[in-house]
Structure 1
């Protein structure tokens, strides 16, 4: 009797029918590697903000020199050493054209009878610092991007050939790399400037002579890692040639690490160009770059800090933005990362 009371009545049971088509259907859309990486990157707020800031700086570098209609090379000694003055903001008590004259705070625009506005002020020769800042940013970015592109092309090709073919080829190529890596980059730059006229071309070539070594070693390590894996061996067994294995199997798998390393190479090139121009062996006056502008501001930092403030701020933002984007890409392109 006790067992009969514990039994459930038949009406309590329901037959569940399963549709095989519905059961095996994938509810979420399938994502490619790059789509999944983009979803990961979007979750990194610092990287997204840095991308927006970087795009704005690049746009300003392109259009900034044309916003106020002044040339960065035009000199006007009557307008020399004017502090920043921005319409509208001057009413807040900042960027109002007030500077020191004879130990007193005065409106230098009124003293010199200047009716124009210089948003970032002028230098000792009366040149507009707003225009020169964005012209200098343009030159610095140009040098950095070209140097990074050359580093990628040479580094990927050299490291890929060395790692893929191995053996004696790898030994000879790596001995060359060891010789080059032992030469200080600054020595190479000085020698290039002695041979060539100081300028953009000399700096790009000097940075590129040894800049690709780091990329080549990373690529070589990745090629050595992937070339012995099953998918490469299967492709070789099916009769694929060297070019197909490299372009279809190896390069797509190392593309992520190449992009990440490039994002760290660009700020290094920007800083190195600024360093060369700051110590006087880079771009020569009247050419403007972030390094030359910082050098000019350093000389008058005590009396006119605004000359140093703006280029130092731009180069700092560029360095931080590129590094944060590089960190975000490293996390997004790493397939071992978990959500």
Structure 2
């Protein structure tokens, strides 16, 4: 063993150099810190479907306000001689589409030339000669307004009700949950129809009808999350330090539940839009001459064989809104839910 050690060659001096590390620099984090919301936005940007849906929905919202303004015709202005005209858009008509050609007595004819109409209607006209372009965007504006207000009220009531029920628990939770079970046990459509029959059909009646039982789903989600977090160590520490119940709920519990609230709201909005369209379609929503996507689809359904454009534009727009919101909701769920992180 001694002979083997003696045979090991010695390294020349200067082969190693002493490196002195600064203790302040040794543990320094060179990468900038990223907050929870910055990380969520980064994950949404990686989701191409959600990012495209956000841009698409933004354009729809902009056009819902800009469309009735840029149109030279009022949404409720009637010109009977221009009734049931097909869409006609300059420049695009040269491609053989949206050129004002319609079917009359089994033959394709230029209805604008036949009726001596010198103006162009981009989305055509309905049976009363009203401009579909301005009516579609005005109806989109009304439908979005109803859905957003109803979703905001649902979120407000559901968060407060579910947070109080889950935090205090015991008899308070039992009593509050029995009320929720009674409301959810009654079919939502029956409650909405009965309420609308009591009030005059309109925007206010639809919003109140949608929020009567719509908040129960949000309250259950919030209650479940509060029950999950209220036994955690940070809540116990806050209670030990003398924090009040309201401070614990709003400063400690709600920030942790906020992601779930946002995700649930994103799925509530398209449901409200579809339900409003359904009520308007069956005649329990807005009344003429007011327009929403549901009333426009109802009007187009009756003339689908002769003027399919009256149904096509609001139906396509409603479908785009529903798809965009669902993709946005999926993207937010992946970005805000820690369990979905890759």
TM-score under structure 2 length normalisation: 0.96
CA distance in 2, matches of 1:241, 1:31: 31
In 2, Cα distance between the equivalents of 1:336 and 1:122? Answer: 50
Q: Residue 338 of structure 1 corresponds to which residue in structure 2? A: 341
Correspondence 1:59-98 to 2 at 5 A: 59-98=62-101
Question: Equivalent residues in 2 for 1:239-318 (5 A)?
Answer: 239-318=242-321
- Post-superposition Cα deviations, 1:272-302, rounded to whole Å, max 9, x if no partner, equal 0001111111111211110111111111112
Counterparts of 2:186 and 2:209, CA distance in 1:
12
SS class of match (2:102): strand
Range moving further from structure 2, 16-25 or 117-126: 16-25
Query: Residue 245 of structure 1: SS of its match in structure 2?
Result: helix
1:136-155 aligned within 5 A: 136-155=139-158
Q: 2:111 aligns with which of 99, 104, 108?
A: 108
Matched, 1:119 2:122: yes
| 1:327 Cα deviation after fit | 0.6
1:207 is aligned, of 206, 210, 221, to 210
CA RMSD of aligned residues (A): 1.3
SS at match of 1:85: coil
Moved more, 329-338 or 286-295: 329-338
Aligned partner of 1:177 among 172, 176, 180: 180
3-state DSSP class of the match of 2:287? Answer: coil
Measure, in 2, the Cα distance between the counterparts of 1:97 and 1:114: 10
1:57 corresponds to which residue?
60
Aligned length: 339
Mapped pair 1:39 → 2:26: no
Q: Residues 335 and 341 of structure 2 are in contact (CA less than 8 Å); yes or no, is this contact kept in structure 1?
A: no
Q: Secondary structure at the match of 2:14?
A: helix
Unpaired runs of 5+ residues, structure 1, are none
| Cα displacement string for residues 180-236 of structure 1 (whole angstroms, at most 9, x for unaligned residues) | 001111111111122101111111111100000000000000111111110000000
Q: Distance in 1 between matches of 2:132 and 2:193?
A: 29
CA distance in structure 2 between the aligned counterparts of 1:19 and 1:145, rounded to whole angstroms: 56
Give, in whole Å, the separation in 1 of the partners of 2:122 and 2:64: 16
State the shift of 1:5 in Å: 5.2
